[in-house]
Every structure is written in structure tokens, then in C-alpha cells.
A and B are shown apart, each in its own frame.
Chain A
Amino acid sequence: MFADYTWAELGSIFAMQGFAGLILFSVLLLMALGLAIIFGQMGVINMAHGEFMILGAYITYLTSNLFSTYLPDLFGIYFFIAMIFAFIGTFLLGSLVEWTLIRHLYKRPLDTLLATWGLSLILQQLYRTVFGPREVGVTLPDWMMGSYAVSDSIEIPVNGMIVMVITLVITIGVFLFLQKSRRGKQSRAVVLNRAMAGAVGIDTARVDRFTFALGCGIAGIAGATFTMIGSTGPTSGQLYIVDTFLVVVFGGAASLLGTIASAFSISQAQSIMEFFMSGSMAKVLTLLTVIVILMLRPQGLFSLKVRR
């Protein structure tokens, strides 16, 4: 199958395909980061995670409309403001959901799963009622469009690079936050030993609410970022949820490094296979491989030793 191509063409194909894989990696990692905090750290199954992402995307859409109508001069930078709005909006909704729903269910993980699924149905219908059933897209400022030509045959899209940079920044930010900041240390302490954390004076209920809301907020940023590469519809969130959960589980639930490694291997495997077969078969094979590996190694790629 390679005979028809020259070496130079093959090199370009692999470079482009590899770059497509890197963009997919950024997308998967961004989606999984929020979940890695909520599911990996807290053990809460949030089936509405996709809907939080979509909320972020819709907030970005609204912000872009707002800027193009009232502040056309500043349209070039609206995206970063939209990201902040998306974070705040999803963070607030996350705290509300934790307070009304999740906090009653910490000891019943399977029930959380069903309740958050119910929440995701309600949010979907809400989006459909408010924004209509059709997918919406945002207009990007000029500097975010087009592509950068590395050589004659290799072109790299600018929005793809921006997605990668955002992912990098957010990932480092989350890592530093969890490792270094006071809040981050508290939330890790609560995960490791709730009773002891409470005994040394950490308000575990407040830490729980903050951690959950933070995960939702990061989902919102992920959603905002998605608007650069795709359109948003009421049910878009559901498409991502299985992939996202598999990334987190495959990485080893409580390990941020594992999440990064698993997002990388899943995305590269899929984009390389997509070149040889249809997209759906590539996806089937990737997911199957992940599941088989998980059956052989249920704790995931990287596992944190925790006494429970």
C-alpha cells in the first residue's frame, strides 16, 4: 500500500497524521483532565461531564456573539475572555450540582452514576430548548484561522496549535495546583484519608465541593476550546463521555501522569490506524485494545498505591 507514494510524500503523510494525532491528544487530555479530578481523585462518576463541556462551548458562543455585536474592536481577543466566562459558569453550576445532588451520594457510587445521567438528560433538553436543536459554530478571529506551511507538502493548522498550547498550559496549571497550592494539597489529603484529613482540621465537605466544581470548570474550558475545531449541538457531550472515561480509567484512576500517557497512546493509535482503515474501524480497534489491556491490568497504566 506504500508503493504508490514517494518517500517525501510518505514523510509528509506521517508528519501530518502525527500532528492530527497530537491535536486529538490535546482534545482527549483536556476532556479527561476535569474527569481525572472528579473521578480519579474523588471517585465520583459524573456522567454529565460532557454536558458541562457543552455548557462551556455555548458560553463561548454567546460571548462571541456579544463581542461581535457590541465590542467589534476587541473581537480579536474575545476567545480568552470567553474561556474565563466558561470556567466561571461551569464552576458555579458544578458547585450547585455538588451541593444539591452529589454530596448525598458519596457512599453510593453506582447511584451517583444514575443520578448524573439523569442530570445530563435534563441539561441536554435544556440546551435544546434554549439554543435550538441545530449545531452552532463560532466565528474565529482572523489570526486564529488559516494554516502555517512548514514545507511544500506539510501544513499545520493554526487553531490546532492554539488548542495544543492551551492544553499544555492548563495541564501544567492543574498539576502545579494539585501538587503545590494549599487547596490542592487539601483535596489530595481528603482523597487519601478522609477521616484523618478531617481530624487535622480540613473542612472536607467544602474541599469536596471545591474539587468537584474545579473539575467542572476545567470541563468548561475544554468545551470553550472545542469551539475552535468543531461545532456544538445539544447532544455533542454524549459523544465524548465514553472516550473520556476510558482515558481516565486506562491511565490509572488517581494518576495525572497516567491520564496524560493514556490520552497520548489512545490518540496516536487511533490517528495512525485511521490512515489504514475507515474511521469507525480504527475507533473500534482502539477501544477494544484499551479494554483488553484493562482486563489484563485492571488498575490502569499508572496506579497510585492507596490504602482504602
Chain B
Amino acid sequence: MLQSKLRSLTPKNDVISFLILAAILLVALPLLFDIFRLNLIGKYLTFAFVALGLVLSWGLGGILSLGQGIFFGIGGYAMAMFLKLEASSPENTKIQSTPGIPDFMDWNQLTELPWFWEPFHSLGFTIFAIFALPALFAYIIGAAMFKRRVGGVYFAIITQAIAAIMTILVIGQQGYTGGVNGITDLRTLLGWDIRTDSAKYILYFVNSILLLATLVVAQYIRKSKLGRLLVAMRDSEDRVRFSGYDVANFKIFIFCVAGVFSALGGAMFTLQVGFMSPSLIGIVPSIEMVIFAAVGGNLSIFGAVYGALIVNWAKTILSESYPELWLFAMGGLFIAVVLAFPKGLAGIYESYVQPLLNKKFKSTQDK
């Protein structure tokens, strides 16, 4: 019984894809690149968390959120607040007029730590917040919208507006949030210096393993009854509703899961890159995250990882050498994915590469 359940959860192709991805992330990339490039790849992979969440909510559930940057930001800022508090201990900040508070607060004439910063002294609370805050926030947005059967285009526009509001708020409240510069100059995690090369190696592996674990969770959701219901809802919402399912609750749940995934990515981003700023949570980054999922194929959880890697890598290469071309390429990519490859890389793989492989594989087996 258990065995058959396990087998249905892990079709052979998916296991192979998973193992290949694990080998690439954990063996091939660390061997091929120096720590500078590896750190960059780690940064790209944090966006794969977001893309993975989008595959679940958009690809499976048909809910396109243009505000995933909000959740990325919640996770990233939670982690950054903890690290910043540790970096601004009274000894480190004794030249300030109020020692013991983050430097940007001191510059903005704040004399004590705001109340919502207090709990972030504790790592336990911070980790709890990285999971709980995005889930709560996604629940509120989701409940308000899906219970009233708002979906599709309207949901996309409203999540985008929320992302815009968050950015304006973070930039406007400089004294509490660090403003447009964000929270910078992060140094240690519980006394462990995260800026050294060895720390960057360790964080890369932590990030990759976390991503692989998230993939397993996503695969579980995809293969469960919930995943099937989501697909059914996407294709014919009324039928599912008339069969007696509460459509709204499933949508809220998957939106919360996508939010938590994004927040995880945000927290890992802060740890690896060493800062968090509003430039990662607004409208533009949020919609770029959608293109990662779209390029990978919005139905494929593995595609999401490759999509995030390839698009970000292309962005770095192009904007390093031909900054003018990048926006053209990005814009063209949006249009091409929509018009020519609606299923992204995964679709190309399934319709061209896989049949070829199967053929070869079969012919060698027959011999």
C-alpha cells in the first residue's frame, strides 16, 4: 500500500530529473565555478524558490500573482532585520548618538528601536516569521479575493498594486526600513561571519539543499489530490464547485504555499548577498519572477529552477557586456514565451528531446 503510494508520487522520469538537478546543483556547479560565480548562482537560485511557488499557484492553479516580490521581500527583510540587529550591537555602534540601534535609524533621528523590530533579536522568532508572516499575509489577500470569487486578471492587477504600495511604504518610511538603500552592511549570523568565502560555500549548499527539499514538497503537492483539484479548478472552476468542493480554500492554500516559498528564497537571498532593498520587491522584480517560471515552463517544477538560472544568468552576461540589449532581450523573451512557447523550456523538452531519448533508449533495450 505504502509502496504503491510512493511509486505514484515518484514517477521514474521525475526521479531521474530530480537526481540530475541535484547532481548539477551539488556537484557540477561547485566544481566548475569559483566562489564569486557560485555565489551569483546561489543568488539566482533564490529566485527559483519564487518561480517554484508560481508554478504551483499559476501553472497548476491558474492564479497569476504579480506581487510575489512582496513575499520575497517579507522573507528577505525578516532575515535582514535579524542580521542588522546583530550587526548593530552597542559596541559596534558606539559612535552613534544612540548606540545599539541600526545606523540608518540613527541617521533619521530615531532614539529607540521601533516595537516591531524588537522580536527580531531572536533567531527562533525570525525563522518563525519567515514562514508565518508570508502565510498570514497571503491568507488575508487570498481570503479577501477568492472568497468573493475575484480571480484572473483582477487578482493580478490588485497584487501588483499591493507590490507598488509596499515599495512606496518601504521607501517612504526611511527611519524604520532603511528607505531606498534597504538594509545593508550585514555581517554575522550568531557570531558566524557570513562574508567569508567558506561561509559563502556553506550557504550555497544550504540554499541548494533547501531548494531540493522545496522541490520535494512541490512534487508532493502536485501529485496529491490537492494538485489534481487545482488543475481541475483551473480548467473548469464551476464544475469543481458544483462537485461540492470549496474552491476558494484550495486557492488560498496554494497561494499561501507560493508565498512561503518566495519568503524562503528572500531569506536565503539576504544571507548570500548580504543586503535587502526595495528594488527587489516592487512591480518590476515581481513581474520578472513570473518570467522565470514562464521560461522554465509554468507547469514544470524542474523547469522553474532552470528558468530562474538561465534568465538570471543571461541577464548578468548581457547587462555586463551589452546593457542596451538586455531590455530588448527581456521584452522579446516575454513575447516569445507567450506567443511561441507557452509551455516554456519544459514544453520544448517534452515535445522534442524526450521522444528522441525514448527512441534511443528503447532501441538499445531491444538489442
A interface residues, Cβ below 8 angstroms from B:
43, 45, 101, 104-105, 108-115, 117-125, 128-129, 238, 241-242, 245-246, 249, 278, 280-281, 283-284, 287-288, 290-291, 294-295, 298
Instruction: Judge whether B168 and A280 touch: CB under 8 Å.
Output: yes
Instruction: Judge whether B339 and A115 touch: CB under 8 Å.
Output: yes
Instruction: Judge whether B152 and A115 touch: CB under 8 Å.
Output: no
Instruction: Judge whether A114 and B168 touch: CB under 8 Å.
Output: no
B353 sits at the interface (CB 8 A) = no
Choose from B156, B160, B291, B324 the contact partner of A110 (Cβ within 8 Å). Answer: B156
Instruction: Judge whether A238 and B283 touch: CB under 8 Å.
Output: yes
Instruction: Judge whether A119 and B331 touch: CB under 8 Å.
Output: yes
Choose from B145, B153, B160, B332 the contact partner of A109 (Cβ within 8 Å). Answer: B153
B158 sits at the interface (CB 8 A) = yes
Query: Are A245 and B161 also in contact (CB < 8 A) when A120-B331, A122-B332, A129-B324 are?
Result: yes
Report the nearest B residue to A281, measured CB to CB.
Answer: B172
CB distance from B197 to the nearest CB of A (A): 36
A125 to B145, CA, bound (A): 35
Determine the main DSSP class of A at the interface with B: helix
Choose from A114, A278, A287, A298 the contact partner of B164 (Cβ within 8 Å). Answer: A287
B169 sits at the interface (CB 8 A) = yes
Query: Are A294 and B172 also in contact (CB < 8 A) when A117-B334, A118-B333, A129-B324 are?
Result: no
Q: Tally B residues with Cβ within 8 Å of A.
A: 41
B 138-176 to A, binary, CB cutoff 8 A, 1 in contact else 0: 000000110011101110111011101100110110000
A275 to B322, CA, bound (A): 45
Instruction: Judge whether A295 and B144 touch: CB under 8 Å.
Output: yes
B342 sits at the interface (CB 8 A) = yes
Query: Are A114 and B294 also in contact (CB < 8 A) when A109-B153, A295-B144 are?
Result: yes
B20 sits at the interface (CB 8 A) = no
Instruction: Judge whether B335 and A101 touch: CB under 8 Å.
Output: yes
List 8 A-B residue pairs with CB atoms under 8 Å apart, sorted by A's residue number. Answer: A45-B156, A101-B339, A109-B152, A119-B331, A121-B334, A124-B327, A284-B169, A291-B161
Query: Are A294 and B158 also in contact (CB < 8 A) when A118-B335, A125-B328 are?
Result: yes
B287 sits at the interface (CB 8 A) = yes
A200 to B145, CA, bound (A): 38
A180 to B47, CA, bound (A): 51
B212 sits at the interface (CB 8 A) = no
Query: Are A287 and B161 also in contact (CB < 8 A) when A113-B156, A249-B154, A295-B148 are?
Result: yes
Inside 8 A of B287's CB, which chain A residues have their CB? 114, 117
Inside 8 A of B160's CB, which chain A residues have their CB? 242, 245
B132 sits at the interface (CB 8 A) = no
